[in-house]
């Protein structure tokens, strides 16, 4: 070929059969312009799939490991509970610490179904550890002194309130406490509970067995209907044991034991007694912490009335523990109620029985405040009578004519100036005839201001009472009836709730049937 024949001959003779060497070629283009090496398009997909599979296997194994740790933690917790039952505090604490350590080893993604169980168990462990730590310092005095008494700004604020605007109400409540204190302390001692808990009724109800709050909580321990049923308090058309001081005290103690077991300290348990355990649990969860040092860590996030409830309770304990320090000269408590119990097999009107025995008409009612009609029901009933009067009462009952208690639940209405039976019947959604029969009235027109009538309660919403025929600015006395609230009363008399509370030294919105309120009517 021409190209070959024109090339100069090399110094060495290269055989024609050998291939000619190819000179090296250097590409002078920048690296960025260099063509990429050809890749297998299937390779990235294979590597991604392998990585995903490896990650899935790792997550699955992590979940299995976490589940196993959680099971071990639960097992350790159960062993701690068994140790507590044996009163082996050291063993219980060791097992709780072991369970807590196992939880700390768990690593879970935010969407793991085990996360909620882990958090719930951590809170439970923290509460149990706190409870044991507290009991180690107060075990010898578990009956007394186990509620810490602090004098912080909130407690001192309540003390100042008791010293001033609420002073009269506080002293009256203290005096009334004597009627029931021995009984309450006896029930607390049976369960080895702190004796300070006996003062809860002072802030709940002022020790009034028939106290009724605007939330429809009833009795000395302020049970709402559902909680009363939950702890075995009978509620029928004749009896409401929420108003029974003895039975309600036992029910309240059961409730407080459960709350203390749940939260691990008494101040938090008392807060939960006021607003319900669910509310306190929601606040604890919202804190997003596994352990809280004391009730005061929750204080700012609780409902106002509940947050105030615990400082009021502690203020009460401080005052009754050292009245002189806080400027009080407390009255002597009323003597404890002394009574016998007799089995009554027939319906008996307490007023009739009192009259025949020559007793004060309020005495039997005070002993048996749970009787809704102030009469025994039409089934066998254990009636409380003054000590030493048992046989005399039984003989008297045997001689009395049969009393037929009303078949319907009744409210009490205090007749006001301008009231008519027709207006009262419309207000309570009943009939004039029903009111006449229930009260044994001989005339449909002869009712008078101040007269107390029983009216059938149909469970409907009670309409506001008609305004009394009082001059604007006149001071009158209002007798609280079943269903009354401060808001309703304030509207009736054209005044405000705060003015009524100030005029009567009321610490809360709680009212009780028969309570007398001094009210200055507003101006139209």
Q: How far from the centroid of its chain's Cα atoms is residue 45's Cα?
A: 59
Measuring CA to CA, how many Å separate 386 from each of 79, 133, 250, 337? Answer: 52, 47, 22, 8
CA 196/CA 193 separation, integer angstroms: 9
CA 263/CA 254 separation, integer angstroms: 15
Cα 437-438-442 angle, rounded to 5 deg? 45
Assign 495 to helix, strand or coil.
coil
Which long-range contacts does 183-188 make (Cβ < 8 Å, 24+ apart)?
Answer: 183/245, 183/246, 183/249, 183/336, 183/337, 184/249, 187/249, 187/250, 187/253, 188/143, 188/253
CA 207/CA 200 separation, integer angstroms: 9
| Phi/psi at 223 (5° precision) | -85, 135
Which DSSP state fits 300? G
What are the DSSP calls for 280-345, one per residue? HHHHHHHHT-S--SSGGGTGGGS-HHHHHHHHHHHHHHHHHH-GGGGT--PPPPPPPP-EEEEEE-
Assign 506 to helix, strand or coil.
coil
Q: Which entry of 158, 204, 241, 370 is annotated as an active-site residue?
A: 204
CB atoms within 10 A of CB 360: 11
CA 511/CA 514 separation, integer angstroms: 9
State yes or no: is 28 an active-site residue: no
Please, are residues 299 and 154 in contact by the beta-carbon 8 Å criterion?
yes
CA 366/CA 447 separation, integer angstroms: 27
Catalytic residues: 204
């Amino acid at each position: 070929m021409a190209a070959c024949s024109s090339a100069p001959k090399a110094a060495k003779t290269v055989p024609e059969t050998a291939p000619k060497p190819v000179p090296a070629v250097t590409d002078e283009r920048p690296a960025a312009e260099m063509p990429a090496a050809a890749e297998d398009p299937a390779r990235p997909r294979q590597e991604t799939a392998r990585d995903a599979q490896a990650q899935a296997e790792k997550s699955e194994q992590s979940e299995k490991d976490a589940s196993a740790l959680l099971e071990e933690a639960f097992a350790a917790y159960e062993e701690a509970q068994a140790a507590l039952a044996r009163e082996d505090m050291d063993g219980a604490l060791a097992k709780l610490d072991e369970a807590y350590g196992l939880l700390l080893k768990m690593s879970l993604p935010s969407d793991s179904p085990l996360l909620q169980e882990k958090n719930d168990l951590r809170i439970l462990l923290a509460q149990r550890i706190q409870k044991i730590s507290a009991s180690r310092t107060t075990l010898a005095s578990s009956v007394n002194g186990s509620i810490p008494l602090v004098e912080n700004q909130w407690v001192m604020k309540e003390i100042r309130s008791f010293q001033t605007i609420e002073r009269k109400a506080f002293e009256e409540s203290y005096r009334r406490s004597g009627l029931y204190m021995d009984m309450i302390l006896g029930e607390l001692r049976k369960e080895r509970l702190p004796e300070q808990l006996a003062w809860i009724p002072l802030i709940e109800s002022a020790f009034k067995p028939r106290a009724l709050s605007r939330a429809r909580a009833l009795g000395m321990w302020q049970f709402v209907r559902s909680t009363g049923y939950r702890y075995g308090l009978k509620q029928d058309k004749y009896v409401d044991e929420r108003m029974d001081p003895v039975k309600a005290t036992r029910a309240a103690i059961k409730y407080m034991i459960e709350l203390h077991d749940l939260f691990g300290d008494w101040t938090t348990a008392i807060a939960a007694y006021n607003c319900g355990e669910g509310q306190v649990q929601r606040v604890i969860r919202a804190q997003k912490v596994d352990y809280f040092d004391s009730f005061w860590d929750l204080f700012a996030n609780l409902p106002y009335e509940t947050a105030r409830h615990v400082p009021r309770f502690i203020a009460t304990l401080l005052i009754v523990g050292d009245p002189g320090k806080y400027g009080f000269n407390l009255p002597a408590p009323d003597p404890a109620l002394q009574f016998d119990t007799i089995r009554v097999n027939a319906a008996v009107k307490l007023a009739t029985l009192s009259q025949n025995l020559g007793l004060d008409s309020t005495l039997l009612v005070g002993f048996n405040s749970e009787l809704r009609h102030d009469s025994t029901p039409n089934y066998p009933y254990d009636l409380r009578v003054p000590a030493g009067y048992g046989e005399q009462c039984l003989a008297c009952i045997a001689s009395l004519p049969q009393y037929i208690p009303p078949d319907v639940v009744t409210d009490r209405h205090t007749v006001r100036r301008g009231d008519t039976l027709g207006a009262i019947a419309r207000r309570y959604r009943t009939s004039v005839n029903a009111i006449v029969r229930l009260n044994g009235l001989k005339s449909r027109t002869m009712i008078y201001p101040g007269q107390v009538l029983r009216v059938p309660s149909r469970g409907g919403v009670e309409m506001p009472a008609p305004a009394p025929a009082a001059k604007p600015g006149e001071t009158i006395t209002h007798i609280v009836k079943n269903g009354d609230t401060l808001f309703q009363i304030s509207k009736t008399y054209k005044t405000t709730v705060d003015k009524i509370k100030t005029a009567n030294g009321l610490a809360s919105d709680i009212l009780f049937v028969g309570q007398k309120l001094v009210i200055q009517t507003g101006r139209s």
